[in-house]
Amino acid sequence: MSGAGVGLTTPTSISAVIIPSNTPIPIFWPGHGGPPMKQRWRALRRIGTIAPQAKGTAMNARRPAVDETVAPGAHWSGVVQKGSTLRLTDLEGSQAVDFLCYNAKDPADRYSAADTMKISGKLFVGKGTRLYTDMGNILFTVVEDTCGRHDTIGGCCSRESNFVRYGVREGPNCRDNFLAGLAKFGLGKKDIVANLNFFMYVPITPEGGMAIVDGLSKPGDYIDLRAEMDVLVALSNCPQMNNPANDYNPTPIRVTVRLPEHSA
């Protein structure tokens, strides 16, 4: 998919199209269940704040083409050029990031959770994992990871699942965030597939049980993904406050993209 194909103009200084979207979405709403009201108001006060910088690494040697703080409950989408490195940083710890990715030139060629798990032989994503499409192509390779475990099976929250699970009829959710991010590229509900959840921990019991539990990520933990083709990314900084995915307290994340050396 090119910039022209979606009514966009590619910047002359770089060859990647970056469409940021970090408009905060309110994360307080009336409903049943979930954390105490005090925690909800605490989360509200954090919207729009600038969190501490991430742990320093070699990636900081060059100025990134994109460096944005994504507020709690907000979304981000853009095309990451082949060879570029996308870094997601959990600024305050225990913050889930719902993530979808597609072949930017052919979005029908999209992330496949099943193929990624089958080929890697693992349920969890970590350093060395390759993210595959359902056509057997590699979208990203995880080249660095300070957290160690990222979820492939928990899916995204939605209005419908929040009502079934928690009795909450309205409120922000990751599916709506995905729809907003993908709409800029002419994609919609039919293009949403089973997604990745970075920094979310969903352990599996010996009996086959699973549950969303407290995350393992610490403040400043990050994951680096190298694009193996031009990749369309849509992510949601999860607003969920009815389970421990975000420690009942959604917080900001940082999104950075560094172009290949030859493009710098």
- Asked if 56 contacts 223 with a C-beta cutoff of 8 angstroms, the reply is no
**Lookup: tokens for 254:** 């940082």
Provide the pairing of β-strand 138-145 with 221-227. antiparallel
Q: What is the DSSP string of 179-209?
A: HHHHHTTT--GGG--S-EEET-B--B-TTS-
Q: What is the pTM of this model?
A: 0.77
- Digit-by-digit pLDDT tens for the chain (264 residues) are 433 333 333 333 323 334 344 433 333 233 333 444 334 334 333 433 333 344 444 554 567 899 999 999 999 999 999 999 999 999 999 999 999 999 999 999 999 999 999 999 999 999 999 999 999 999 999 999 999 999 999 999 999 999 999 999 889 999 999 999 999 999 999 999 999 999 999 999 999 999 999 999 999 999 999 999 999 999 999 999 999 999 999 999 999 999 988 765
Task: List the end-to-end C-alpha distance of the chain, in Å, as a whole number.
Answer: 22
